[in-house]
Chains A and B, each alone.
Chain A
Amino acid sequence: MSLVMLVLLAISPAKDHFSQWRHYQKQYLHLIRGRADAVTLERHYEGGIRQIWIPEQQVTDRCTTCHLGLKENSLTDVSAVAYRKHPVVPHSLTEFGCTTCHRGQGAATTVQEAHNATEQWEQPLLPAKYIEAGCGQCHLEKQAATPFLNQGRQLISSYGCTHCHTIKQGDGTYIQPEDDPPSLKHIADKTTRDWVYAWIKDPQAYASTATMPNYHFSDNDARDVSAFIMSQSTSLEPPLQPLNGKPNPDPAAGTSLYGQSFCASCHAMQNAAGMMVGGNVGPELTGIGTKAKPEWIADWVANPNHYDPGTMMPHYRFDPTQVATLAAFLESKTEPDFVANVHLEAATPQQIEHGKRLVLENGCASCHEINGIKKPENFAPELSRIGSKPISQLLFVEGVDHNLHSYVAAKVSNPRAFGPALKMPQFKLTLQQVDAVTTALLAQTDRAATQPPAMRIASVQQSKYEPAGHAGQLMHDLRCFTCHMINGHGGDMAPDLTWEGTAVTREWLTQFLKSPETLRPALIRRMPKFNLSDADINTLTDYIMTVYQTPEFDRDSLPASELTPALVEQGRELFYSKFACQSCHIADYAKDKGYIGPALAGTGKRFNAAWVYYWLKDPQSLRPGTIEPNQHMTDEEARSLTAFLMSLKATGAKEVAKK
């Protein structure tokens, strides 16, 4: 009896003695004793259960019990992951712990329980490919170090996931959809039922870049949905404007107007070689002639605000000949195969009724405005805390590993695999895009939602700035904010204009708005010509010169009289030798070739001297994020360079031959 007692009593210490972590510690000691810096490493070593405890972050991590070399600079070459030094990251282990970023069960002391999901503890380690989800819990801003998290958040916006799913971030902001799905209120003015049918059957067959997902509608369902949508369409008020010009008879005129207007800055089109050329701000135009009716194209080119007051596209003010020319060019871009096999008969009331049911069931109105259908609220489950969803609340299907990240990735990549009756449509994403979206979703954890605000780096939100008055209306009509940022509002395709009034001269600005010259020869995106009237140009220049002024320095603080010829010569010397500015800029079209920054040959006409001086002293203070390096110039160097640059008064940049 007493012998049995003794054995029983021995079980506990024996279990402790043979525990897994002791094993790891013994092996670690073995490893470090074989190394040259054994003494240092041994001095750092402390046996027993190690723990990082940060109560305010709910961190109790015993990972360092086995991962003993995480802080040892010399252990970068060890093959065993357990003993290797942690790669360089900006956060210290002691301040953040391990599970904050990596997840897993911090308090566990066996390999299995710490890394994998077990029955009682279901938080497995984040696989390396989703590690940026750890960063995303606190970092809501776009960070250089987290390309996939940024990409995932961007995809959630640009694919419009948040039309249906609400995603609230830790700082209380919501991820906003940015895909701008078109209103279908007047769809019959724009396109045919045949096209709508083919489109909802397979959007990517029309445009490979389309973000509209595939609902896998049967032929009959697509027939009925198209019937309902067309039946709900009303005529635009006032109606589409008829063409009152004739296209330019020159067959190349359309192509050249498309090029001159820089349509490709925003729209992609497949060229003869099958390559997609152009931007992704607006829809792809490869088959626009098949999609849109000729009268709609002409009306849209004349003034896009008429059909869609919320469009990002500027109002170009083309004359009637230009409208006809560009419209004819776009009409010629057809993909007849896309609708070749569509033969729809007139819709019956039953079909329309069935179509309505499908539209309601599939939540089409979450994205598109449809007459007679209300936008559903919270059409799909909220995803604000999807990254902490307990596995017990998930329904797995065969082939999906039993953990949260596999579930999320499977849902994103192939939602219909979870049951044919599920409404979530199939998005067209690459493997990498699926992983990026999964990363962004896994960042939506309980920790992200509940941690103290001091832990959070808030996302950068657009300001609500709108310019006032007549100039404001003009800037809205020209959609300046699609490309330019002003006072924290707008796009990043073109330079920030917040202080443009300080930077440039009135004469130059007037001339530029009349006929934009090439400033950056190597850029494919350029400022288009909007065909503005003199009165409009006047209004705009008045406004820009008055309002967009920096308070940092006086615009007139460097008069021309101070820029002596001697300074000009000193500046020339500095430009070409000490600072080698010609590597990136052109001062003289005859000999300089630098492509990166804007051409400076016309600086004296374009810029104001004080702006040039302060720009040279500290470019980032005037335009945060500009890639012009701060050269740490002395006041005198900056003054001489300003004198030289202000002496350059060439007009009209040369085009650079594209490779």
Chain B
Amino acid sequence: MKRTLIFLCALSLSVSGCSHKGQQPAPLKATATGAAILESSGGKQIGYIGMPLDQPIVVQVNDASGSAVPGAAVYFRGSSGVSFTTASALTDSSGQVTTTVSLGQQAGRYKLVASTGDASGKNIELPIEEIALGYQQTVGAQLNAQYCLRCHDPESSSLRVSNMDNLSVKPHAFTEGDTLNKMSDVDLIAIISHGGPALNKSAEMPPWGYTISKSDIAALVSYIRAVADPPYEAGGLVYAQK
């Protein structure tokens, strides 16, 4: 079994071998070192497979006293298929490095790492998580924007005001994994199709089953699962390993 796993790993590496080339950035000549690396912005974005994310990732290197360190070397890396516009760079005058990441071919969560060396040469790593939507989740994302967002997202946009505060029972944002992960797919489909009363919840959630199709509702569920925080772990059959 172990051998198979090793082979499969090797296989997937060899299949995606090309994308790995150029992933290893050349070492930089750092003019300074820091004691910590922090995420300024750009984590936890929801993007699409293969596409660059909307917002750049900005990380900052600080020294032990918490002030920014210019000239420290920062390296970004990710799993197979992930690419960065800037894979390695020295921090600028404000101690920051900015890069735009394109996610890989598989839908799901991508764990990226930004790292810098400290004074002793030890690597300090910063994990950054991003989400890539595949086909079905993309359909769900569009439906969410059209039908759900105005009540389920507390944020207002430049074109519309959020309706969440006007409801007597506050809807759950789709990222609320703590709550939504406990609901089965069947329950989610039921409440979307038949409205809140289907699960003894508020009628302020209307039934959508006569307005959008079954496959669209399945797509919405897959979107809700994709963006859950903490991540949704599919239940279903668990296969015994030999």
Binding site for B on A (CB under 8 A): 27, 30-31, 34-37, 74, 78-82, 87-90, 111, 116, 127-131, 144-148, 277, 431-432, 435, 522-525, 577-580, 583-584, 593-596, 620, 627, 629-632, 656, 658-659
Q: A136–B208 Cα gap in the complex (Å)?
A: 29
Whose C-beta in chain A lies nearest to the C-beta of B150? A596
Q: Which residues of B contact A431 (CB under 8 A)?
A: 52, 85, 100
List B residues 33-86 near A (Cβ within 8 Å).
Answer: 48-52, 54, 81, 85
Q: Mark B97-140, 1 if CB is under 8 A from A, else 0.
A: 00010101111000000000000000000000000001110110
**Is B23 at the interface (CB under 8 A from chain A)?**
no
User: Please, could you name 28 A-B residue pairs with CB atoms under 8 Å apart, sorted by A?
Assistant: A27-B4, A27-B8, A31-B4, A36-B237, A36-B240, A78-B8, A79-B12, A80-B11, A81-B105, A82-B11, A82-B15, A116-B18, A127-B50, A128-B49, A145-B135, A522-B160, A524-B159, A579-B206, A580-B204, A583-B166, A584-B163, A593-B165, A595-B161, A627-B146, A629-B207, A631-B206, A631-B207, A659-B161
The reply to whether A87 and B100 form a contact with Cβ atoms under 8 Å apart is no
Q: Contact at B104–A128, with CB atoms within 8 Å?
A: yes
Interface of B, helix, strand, loop or mixed by DSSP: loop
8 Å CB contact of B211 from A34, A88, A111, A620: A620
- Is the CB–CB distance between A525 and B163 below 8 Å? no
Contact B203 A659 (CB under 8 A): no
Residue of B nearest to A115 (CB): B15
List the A side residues contacting B136 at CB < 8 Å.
87-89
Q: Which chain A residues border B18 with CB–CB below 8 Å? A: 116
Main secondary structure of the interface of A (DSSP, over half): loop
- Give the chain B neighbours of A577 by CB distance below 8 A: 203
Contacts of B240 in A (CB 8 A): 36
Chain B hits for A629, CB < 8 A: 147, 206-208, 210-211
* Least CB distance, B157 to chain A, in whole angstroms: 9
- How many B residues touch the partner, as a band? 35 or more
Cβ contacts under 8 Å, B208 to chain A: 629
Extra A-B contacts (9), CB below 8 Å, given A111-B14, A596-B151, A659-B156: A27-B7, A79-B12, A82-B12, A145-B139, A148-B51, A435-B51, A593-B165, A595-B161, A631-B210
A524 in contact with B146 (CB, 8 Å): no
Give the Cβ gap from A88 to chain B, nearest Cβ, in Å: 5
Judge whether A129 and B51 touch: CB under 8 Å.
Answer: yes
Q: Which of A36, A82, A89, A580 has a CB less than 8 Å from the CB of B202?
A: A580
A33 nearest in chain B by CB position? B242
Check B204 against A81 for contact (C-beta < 8 Å): no
Q: Complex: how many Å from CA A35 to CA B143?
A: 36
Q: Which residue of B lies closest to A88 (CB)?
A: B136
A37 to B161 Cα, complex, angstroms? 50
B239 shortest CB reach to chain A, Å: 4
Q: Kindly state the separation between the CA atoms of A130 and B50 in the bound complex, as whole angstroms.
A: 8
